Amino acid sequence: MAEKIRHVLGLSGGKDSSALAVYMRDRVPEMEYFFSDTGKELQETYDFLDRLEAFLGKPIVRLNMNADANSNRDFDHWLTVYGGLLPSSQIRWCTVNLKIRPFEEYIGEDHAYHYIAIRADEDRIGYKPPSISSLRNIEPKYPFKEDGITKEDVYRILEESGLGLPDYYKWRTRSGCYFCFFQRKSEWVGLLEQHPDLFELAKGYEKFNPETGERFTWCQGESLEELSQPERIAEIKANTEKAMASKKADKPNRRLIEILTDVLDDEDDEEPCLPCHK
C-alpha cells in the first residue's frame, strides 16, 4: 500500500496565504488548512479566517488552542517559560514555539507537502530557519512561484473570490500578533487608534529595570508610553501622510494598501517571520 501523502497549507491571516488557499481550493481538494493561533491576534484576523473557512468549505485547524483554556500553549504560556523575556528580531522564541513546533507536531512523522505563499515577484527562501521547518518528511511547494503569481494577482484572487482583504490592512500591512515587534511606528499608532485596549495590554508587557536602567520594549529605542504621547503621535502621522502623498504622486493609480506598504517598508523593511506574515 502506497504511503499516504498529506497536503497542508498554513494560514497567517495575511493576504498571500489566504490567496493561496483560494487558489489551491479546487486544485488540491484534499488540502488541509491550519492556523497557528498565538492567542494574541487581532479580532479582524479571526473574523477574516471565519470568512475564509466558509469559502473553502472545510475547517481551518486552529493549533495551540484547546477546549481547556488552562492547557493552551499560547504566547503568555511561553512568556512565562522564558522568564518574562520579550521576543525580538534577535530572539524569535515566539516564532519557534508558537508557529514552527506546533506545525511540526501537527504533521508528526507523516510525509507532507507544505504549500507556501511565496510569490513569483519575491526573492525569499521559505525553508531557511527560523522560517518554517527543516524536517525531511515535510516537502515545501511554491505554487505561486511555479505559476508566476505576483502581488497584483494576489489582490485579484481575493477580490474575485469576494473575500477582499482583512480589515486591518487599512492601517497595517502585515499580519501577526497585535504587539509584534516587527510593527512599524505608524502601525503602533494605528493599533492605539483602532484598538486602544490592545495597545494598553501591549504596553503592559514592557518593563523597566530601575537598578540597571535596562528597558524591555517592543520598539527598539522607544517605549509605547513614549510613542503614545500626543506630540509623538502627531509627528509619526505627519511623516506617514507626507510620505504617502509623495508615493501617490509618483504612481497615482496604485491601491492605497500598496502605497502604505511602500511607505512602511521605507521606514523599516526588516524581513519578518514567514509563518506570521504571509
- Residue 80's CB is within 10 A of a number of other CB atoms, namely 9
Q: Which CATH number fits domain 5-170: 3.50.50.60, 3.50.40.10, 3.40.50.2300, 3.40.50.620?
A: 3.40.50.620
Q: Using a pLDDT cut of 70, give the percent of the chain over it.
A: 89
pTM: 0.88
Which comes out higher in pLDDT, residue 191 or 268? 191
Q: How much is the pLDDT for 77?
A: 92
Beta strands 207-208 and 111-115, pairing class = unpaired
Q: How much is the pLDDT for 248?
A: 82
Instruction: State the cell numbers at 157.
Output: 484572487
Query: Which of 131-140, 180-189, 239-248, 260-269 is modeled with the greatest confidence?
Result: 180-189
Cα(147)–Cα(256) distance, integer angstroms: 26
Q: How much is the pLDDT for 256?
A: 82
Residue 70 pLDDT more than 80?
A: no
Cα(211)–Cα(256) distance, integer angstroms: 46
Q: How much is the pLDDT for 275?
A: 66
Residue 1 pLDDT more than 80?
A: no
Q: How much is the pLDDT for 257?
A: 83
Residue in 112, 98, 161 with CA at minimum distance from that of residue 9: 112
For 206-253, the pLDDT digits (tens) are 988 787 878 889 988 899 999 999 999 999 999 999 988 888 887 777
Q: How much is the pLDDT for 68?
A: 56
Q: How much is the pLDDT for 127?
A: 45
For 178-203, the pLDDT digits (tens) are 999 889 999 999 999 999 999 999 99
CA dihedral (46, 52, 56, 59) in degrees, to 10, reads 0
Q: Which amino acid is at 27?
A: R
Peptide bond connecting 130 to the previous residue in cis, omega within 30 degrees of 0: yes
Which comes out higher in pLDDT, residue 268 or 16? 16
Least confident of 6-20, 57-71, 154-168: 57-71
Domain limits, the chain: 5-170, 185-267
Q: What is the mean pLDDT of the chain?
A: 88
pLDDT level of residue 276 (50, 70, 90 thresholds): low
